[in-house]
Amino acid sequence: MEIKSAEFVISNTDVKKCPEGNMPEYAFIGRSNVGKSSLINMLTNRKSLALTSQKPGKTQLINHFIINKEWYLVDLPGYGYAQRGKEGREKLRRIIEDYILEREQLTNLFVLLDSRHAPQEIDLEFMEWLGENEIPFSIIFTKIDKISKSKLNGNLTVYKDKLLETWEELPPIFTSSSEKREGKEEVLSYIHEINQQLIT
Ligand code: GTP
Ligand code: MG
């Protein structure tokens, strides 16, 4: 799918103030620093449409970007950033949860996982919570430029086995490198397919 236009629309802490209308939207979630904002820039061919940082906790708001004037990409704050303090973490958790549970236009949530790491409790619990609430999601393993192909394959196998301990079937799984611009076509084709199904 070709990205003809990508524009910032609005930032929010309140799901009720997100754009009205019924265009489908695709949001990115995951631990702080996993690469959500970088991935949005890579998918849209924009250097700094979404703001990124080496320090975790950069994205603090729900950010809507309209693509081809037809659908939205949504950059969300990360979860699990330890240095934010209990109150700050709670606040972000509420913003994220309200958005996910209340946003009817949310068509698919991409859960980003760092491809270098073994399965983490916080991510597994988050996906369990999505399942309990019947939120459709897919997984994107990020930063694959930082490990070898064989290590990546090993980690993917470990992760899939772990998921199959609690899930009957696996969600769609993608791999990406925002640095090397890998995984772009796969993710965009997947979004395109869903958009087409929604139209017909
Ligand atoms: P928060 O907004 O804090 O939740 O983080 P985020 O998930 O949006 O992460 P962000 O995109 O800001 O990226 C965090 C850091 O990881 C930045 O220094 C990025 O340059 C780096 N990064 C993101 N994706 C990749 C990748 O695919 N490869 C490499 N090598 N670095 C990446
Ligand atoms: Mg971010």
Mean of all residue pLDDT scores within the chain: 95
User: How far is residue 79 from each of residues 33, 95, 157, 164, 179, measured CA to CA in Å?
Assistant: 9, 11, 24, 23, 22
Specify if 134 maps to a domain. yes
Contact present, 132 and 159 (Cβ < 8 Å): no
Domain that holds residue 191: 6-199
- pLDDT confidence of residue 89: 83
Contact present, 99 and 18 (Cβ < 8 Å): yes
Q: State whether residue 193 is helix, strand or coil.
A: helix
Specify if 76 maps to a domain. yes
**Around 21, how many Cα atoms within 13 Å sit in the side-chain half-sphere?**
10
How many domains does the chain contain in total?
1
Specify if 89 maps to a domain. yes
Q: What is the DSSP string of 62-97?
A: EEEEEETTTEEEEE---B--GGGHHHHHHHHHHHHH
- pLDDT confidence of residue 138: 98
- Of 53, 55, 114, 187, the one to substitute when testing ligand 1's pocket (max ligand atoms within 8 A of C-beta) is 53
- Of 38, 123, 142, 146, the one to substitute when testing ligand 1's pocket (max ligand atoms within 8 A of C-beta) is 38
- pLDDT confidence of residue 188: 98
pTM: 0.96
Q: 31, 188, 197: which is closest to 112 by C-alpha?
A: 31
Specify if 62 maps to a domain. yes
Q: State whether residue 37 is helix, strand or coil.
A: helix
Specify if 107 maps to a domain. yes
Q: How far is the CA of 98 from the centre of ligand 1 (A)?
A: 24
Specify if 101 maps to a domain. yes
Specify if 135 maps to a domain. yes
Q: Which residues place a Cβ less than 5 A from the ion ligand 2?
A: 36-37, 58-59
* Number of neighbours of residue 145 by Cβ within 10 angstroms: 14
- pLDDT confidence of residue 132: 96
pLDDT over 70 percentage in the chain: 98
pLDDT, block means (10 residues), the chain with 200 residues:
95 95 97 96 96 90 97 94 78 93 97 98 96 97 98 98 96 98 98 92
- pLDDT confidence of residue 77: 94
Q: What is the CATH number of the domain that holds 181?
A: 3.40.50.300
Distance CA 97, CA 101 (A): 6
Specify if 1 maps to a domain. no
- pLDDT confidence of residue 57: 87
